[in-house]
Amino acid sequence: MRLERSLLIVESILGILQLTLANSECFLNATTPWNKFEKVLLRKKRHLVFPKNSAFVLTITGLKAIQIKEPSNWNLLMEFDMIWPIPINSIKYKTKKLIKKQTYHRLRRQKRNLYETIEATLNRMGLSGRNCILRTICEAKTFLHPPGISFVDDLLRVILSHEENFNGKIDSYDMAHKTKANCDKIYNCPISLLQLLLNNDYI
């Protein structure tokens, strides 16, 4: 009896998915036993609607073991939330001719959007967000392991690295990547985010 009920639930879920992911043609009386399709409804577009003042939240969680003898099996859990408000205006813009940009231009813009979001979060925590991000970019060249050793280090390298041969306008992030001086002396940030993420220096 329990097995039949489970199969019925699975069959109902599959039916809903089939109706949702089916083609744009939707028969009005497809559930009738004799299957006489008198009228066909067309559904050409699907829309995803969010409630007003909704936000997209990205949560980064890091779990690291605390290297102490007693008590054992203690872990340090760090969570970092980044929030992007979802636009509420539904203005239809005129279609403009798209100018194809190089991949590194898009990646450069996306990195800076991510930096600004992290900076705003650090500012709410009482830190200087811009200085902490610049210090992190500066320390990434020497702090991270060589490529291929650590997946986390490779992921951070992609986020924190910058083009060496960029011909456009140089900003503070590029300068932080190119600097060879002592990073903690140049940028006024009390902690090293890379050491906090990858080591136990602050425990």
pLDDT tens per residue, range 159-194: 888 766 666 677 888 888 888 888 888 888 888 888
Helix (H) or strand (E) holding 202: none
* Rounded Cα gap, residues 75 and 188, in angstroms: 29
In which band, very low, low, confident or very high, does the pLDDT at 88 lie, cut at 50, 70 and 90? confident
Find the angle CA(125)-CA(128)-CA(131) to the nearest 5 degrees: 140
* Rounded Cα gap, residues 131 and 29, in angstroms: 63
In which band, very low, low, confident or very high, does the pLDDT at 96 lie, cut at 50, 70 and 90? low
| pLDDT single digits (tens) 8-33 | 666 666 666 555 555 444 554 445 55
The reported pTM is: 0.52
